[in-house]
Amino acid sequence: MNLEEVARRAKVSTATVSRVLNNASLVKSTTRTRVMRAVEQLKYQPNLHARSLAGVKSRSIGVIVSNIENPFFLDIYKAVEAGAHAEGYEVIMANTDYRSEQLLTSIRLMIGRRVAGLAAIVSEMDADVIAELNEHQIPVVFYDVGAPLQNVTNIRVNYRRGMKKLIDYLYSLGHRRIGFVGHHATLGPIHERANVVLESVARYPDLVVKTGADVDSLEGGRRATRALLSADSGLTAIVCVNDLMAVGAMREIRERGLRIPEDISVTGFDNVKLSQFCYPALTTVHIPRNQIGQNICDVLILNTNTILEQEILIDPELVLRDSTGPTLRR
Amino acid sequence: MNLEEVARRAKVSTATVSRVLNNASLVKSTTRTRVMRAVEQLKYQPNLHARSLAGVKSRSIGVIVSNIENPFFLDIYKAVEAGAHAEGYEVIMANTDYRSEQLLTSIRLMIGRRVAGLAAIVSEMDADVIAELNEHQIPVVFYDVGAPLQNVTNIRVNYRRGMKKLIDYLYSLGHRRIGFVGHHATLGPIHERANVVLESVARYPDLVVKTGADVDSLEGGRRATRALLSADSGLTAIVCVNDLMAVGAMREIRERGLRIPEDISVTGFDNVKLSQFCYPALTTVHIPRNQIGQNICDVLILNTNTILEQEILIDPELVLRDSTGPTLRR
DNA sequence: TTGAAAGCGGTACCAG
DNA sequence: CTGGTACCGCTTTCAA
């Protein structure tokens, strides 16, 4: 089923059919309806590959995320999709599961598809990946990683500030032995969230921090917490790298017969919807996913980046709920 | 950046470059390496649109879901993706948010992309959508909807049985006033899950059922439950159409100062991971998402459907946890 | 207002 | 083993 068949049926040339379909230049209304009817009858759907090959400007952007099971990434994806659809763009999603070879594969796939722009919301990132991306013209937005470069925009959240607020708050509540639950990708020497927690030991000499990590999931949060509490039963607070893992952490704590927050406080990060619906509701730090998604669309589709090589900085704020409280233990 | 540039640099023809890239027919190893080097240096990525246009068999399948925010759909998607990747296929995802115009749009997009197969995991479905799908040759798998047709496979879960088990269990616990929380798409006259609940009134003459609905989300579950309890504070159990909404329901119940399950029992459906991590852990019905995803791949990629127009039936089983218990109220 | 034809970037068949 | 070339389906001048 192709243009030619439609053209034959409508007794016009393929050029005319094409014109009608792209409601472009003047076509006599009688021929137009004739063509429309043929299209209708044949249930013709244009071959999108041929269309993009023929040199039309690409009408799709790519979004690569580290873990689509984490609502944080899903929210950003959905925000991008909403913005893209509003401009008549399609978005192609890819998931890396924090594996950097998969990131490379995904990037190549996107390039192969000739997307108009690419957003990489990932923690794993090699220098050569960035280099490869730079070879191709394509506009890119990085979140949370990546160096400023030609035609790449960096969106970063000031995790440092967010984490600091969290730690200060816990310290003021009397917590002195804190466990940090991360996932493997957050434990590299580059990663702000874990680092801030570790560094706060310098600011508070009487503070003790233990760190643990597992995969980024409910299960992972639970396992990491189990390991942490088994190794040090004196912890009075568990700081999690994100809300998802925090919900897993709470599960483990409850299972040990401990109360939250009376025995142990728990904090998350991101402020995903789930953090309001779990029990107890989670103290966390809000990351504006919608805004991030919108920024991505602005840069990739509207080209609203007045300055290329731009950096968008977001200052996250604390959200106090019921999973944190003063220590009753010493 | 195209084949020709690579060919020129390697001093061979485009045909040869193509051969090397598709590690096909015999190519002298010295030329092969020469080509490889050119590809490497130019960081050449083949244009996938051109490639599929050139008539190679499509290496991608489409998956359309009603609500990607509901982990149930996400799990199926991921299962399909895993199976597809194992066979070297890509999967393109589309989300309808339960809107049937969006379903039509998505289907057309998939056809336009010339996917090798299409899975529609959706509740919303018009007859004309099915008809349109039937015009094109493409193999299709429906979940939960759709009539048997040429080259379409239907996967269905015996919701009837699952729901019956749930209701029987609650009845045996002493519950006589039950609220059902659905989302709009489940309240049509076609929909098994809601129907079974309604029909059970015939089996148990002293049973009273109230139904409510909202959007398929945590929030929706909460709002629907709020409406239900405001209208009838005598309900002793809330049966939810899925786990996501059940978690929302539990939130509302707690907020009213009621205990689960002492005051009100709650049930979910699907047995998503979250149902084990919420508090209290949710009594639910297990739907094997991995198996469904695998079935989809089998049919769409491996063509393991010996009989076309096949129907795969799944019998779901009850999972008892902590959100249900005997009624203490009358 | 419409048609003919030249690509777009690959693949694969046919010669050599 | 390698090159030439005819498509694949659509868009877009250029002419008529």
Predicted confidence at residue A98, as pLDDT, reads 94
Q: What are B188-199's pLDDT values in tens digits?
A: 767 888 888 888
Predicted confidence at residue B177, as pLDDT, reads 96
The owner of tokens 């594969």 is A105
What distance, in Å, lies between the first and last C-alpha atoms of chain B? 75
Collect all residues of chain B within an 8 Å Cβ-Cβ radius of residue A112: 45-48, 51
CATH of the domain at A241: 3.40.50.2300
Footprint of strand D on the protein (CB under 7 A): A 2-4, 14-15, 18-19, 21-22, 24, 44, 46-47, 50-51, 53-56; B 11-16, 19, 25-28, 30-32, 50, 53-55
Within a domain: A148: no
Please tell me which residue lies nearest to nucleotide D2, judged from CA to C1': B16
Please tell me which residue lies nearest to nucleotide C6, judged from CA to C1': A54
- A224 pLDDT band, cuts 50/70/90, is very high
Within a domain: A145: no
Q: How far apart are CA A217 and CA A251, in angstroms?
A: 12
Within a domain: B296: no
Determine the longest span between alpha carbons in chain B, in angstroms: 87
Predicted confidence at residue A293, as pLDDT, reads 96
CA-nearest residue to B277 within chain A is A251
Given a cut of 90, is residue A85 above it in pLDDT?
yes
Find the Å distance, CA of residue B183 to C1' of nucleotide D14: 57
The stretches of B153-288 forming alpha helices (DSSP H) are 159-172, 192-203, 218-231, 243-255, 274-277
Q: Is the CB of A147 under 7 A from strand C?
A: no
User: Is B252 part of the contact surface with chain A (CB cutoff 8 Å)?
Assistant: no
Q: What is the mean pLDDT of residues A32-52?
A: 93
Q: What are A156-184's pLDDT values in tens digits?
A: 889 999 999 999 999 999 999 999 999 98
Strand (E) or helix (H) holding A90? strand A90-95
Contact state of A111 with B45 under an 8 Å Cβ cutoff:
yes
The alpha carbons of chain A give a radius of gyration, in whole angstroms, of 25
User: Is A322 part of the contact surface with chain B (CB cutoff 8 Å)?
Assistant: no
Given a cut of 70, is residue B329 above it in pLDDT?
no
CA-nearest residue to A110 within chain B is B48
Contacts for A105 with CB less than 8 Å, ≥ 6 apart = none
Residues 51-110 of A with CB under 7 A from strand C: 53-55
Tell me the nt nearest to A6, Cα to C1'. Answer: D9
Predicted confidence at residue A57, as pLDDT, reads 83
Q: What residues 16-55 of chain A have any CB closer than 8 A to a CB of chain B?
A: 43, 45-50, 52-53
Predicted confidence at residue B192, as pLDDT, reads 81
User: Phi-psi category of B99—alpha, beta or left, where left has phi over 0 and alpha has psi -120 to 50?
Assistant: beta
Q: Give me the domain span that covers residue B22.
A: 1-44
And the tokens for B134? 């039937």
Given a cut of 80, is residue B76 above it in pLDDT?
yes
Mutate which of A2, A40, A48 to test chain B, going by most B C-beta atoms within 10 A? Answer: A48
Question: Mean pLDDT in chain A?
Answer: 92
Q: Using CB atoms, which residue from A49, A93, A273 is nearest to B114? A: A49
Q: Is the peptide bond before B139 cis (omega within 30 degrees of 0)?
A: no
Find the Å distance, CA of residue A25 to C1' of nucleotide D13: 13
User: Is A69 part of the contact surface with chain B (CB cutoff 8 Å)?
Assistant: yes
User: Is B86 part of the contact surface with chain A (CB cutoff 8 Å)?
Assistant: no
Nucleotides of D under 7 A from a protein CB: 1-5, 7-13
- pTM for this predicted structure: 0.94
Within a domain: B255: yes
Collect all residues of chain A within an 8 Å Cβ-Cβ radius of residue B277: 218, 222, 247-248, 251, 278
DSSP string, B214-242: E-SSHHHHHHHHHHHHHH-TT--EEEESS
Within a domain: B53: no
Q: What is the mean pLDDT of residues A248-273?
A: 97
Q: What residues 155-214 of chain A have any CB closer than 8 A to a CB of chain B?
A: none
Collect all residues of chain B within an 8 Å Cβ-Cβ radius of residue A108: 45
Predicted confidence at residue B131, as pLDDT, reads 81
Predicted confidence at residue A313, as pLDDT, reads 82
Q: How far apart are CA A198 and CA A180, in angstroms?
A: 9
- B24 pLDDT band, cuts 50/70/90, is low
Burial of B211 (0-12, 13-18, 19+ CB in 10 A): middle
Burial of A50 (0-12, 13-18, 19+ CB in 10 A): middle
Predicted confidence at residue A311, as pLDDT, reads 74
Contacts for A294 with CB less than 8 Å, ≥ 6 apart = A79, A83
Nucleotides of C under 7 A from a protein CB: 1-5, 7-13
Mutate which of B48, B135, B272 to test chain A, going by most A C-beta atoms within 10 A? Answer: B48
Helices B71-86 and B289-297 cross at an angle (nearest 10°) of: 40
And the tokens for B319? 């999972």
Whether A278 and A252 have beta carbons less than 8 Å apart is answered as no
- A330 pLDDT band, cuts 50/70/90, is low
Q: What is the mean pLDDT of residues B170-177?
A: 96
Report the number of distinct structural domains present in chain B.
2
What count of other Cβ atoms lies within 10 Å of the Cβ of residue B165?
15
User: Is B62 part of the contact surface with chain A (CB cutoff 8 Å)?
Assistant: no
* Helix, strand, coil % in chain A, rounded to nearest 5: 45, 20, 35
Whether B181 and B251 have beta carbons less than 8 Å apart is answered as no
Q: Using CB atoms, which residue from A45, A93, A219 is nearest to B112? A: A45
SS3 A94: strand
Q: What are B218-261's pLDDT values in tens digits?
A: 999 999 999 999 999 999 999 999 999 999 999 999 999 999 99
- B265 pLDDT band, cuts 50/70/90, is very high
Q: How far apart are CA B115 and CA B123, in angstroms?
A: 22
User: Is A85 part of the contact surface with chain B (CB cutoff 8 Å)?
Assistant: no
* Residues constituting chain B: 330
Given a cut of 80, is residue B21 above it in pLDDT?
yes
Distances (CA, A) of A254 to A179, A201, B267: 16, 28, 21
Range with the poorest average pLDDT among A217-226, B196-205, B279-288: B196-205
Within a domain: A104: no
Contacts for A124 with CB less than 8 Å, ≥ 6 apart = A66, A96, A98, A99, A100, A103, A185
Q: What is the mean pLDDT of residues A183-207?
A: 86
Q: How far apart are CA A33 and CA A31, in angstroms?
A: 5
Within a domain: B193: yes
Range with the poorest average pLDDT among A24-28, B223-227, B267-271: A24-28
Domain boundary among B44, B60, B77: B44
Within a domain: B36: yes
Backbone angles phi, psi at A152, to 5 degrees: -120, 140
Q: Is the CB of A113 under 7 A from strand C?
A: no
Given a cut of 60, is residue A80 above it in pLDDT?
yes
Given a cut of 90, is residue A302 above it in pLDDT?
no
HSE at residue A44, side-chain half, CA atoms within 13 A, is 22
Q: What are B80-136's pLDDT values in tens digits?
A: 999 999 999 999 999 999 998 999 999 999 999 999 999 999 988 887 888 888 888
CA-nearest residue to B72 within chain A is A69
CA-nearest residue to A281 within chain B is B251
CATH of the domain at A30: 1.10.260.40
Given a cut of 70, is residue B308 above it in pLDDT?
no
More confident residue, B181 or B153: B181
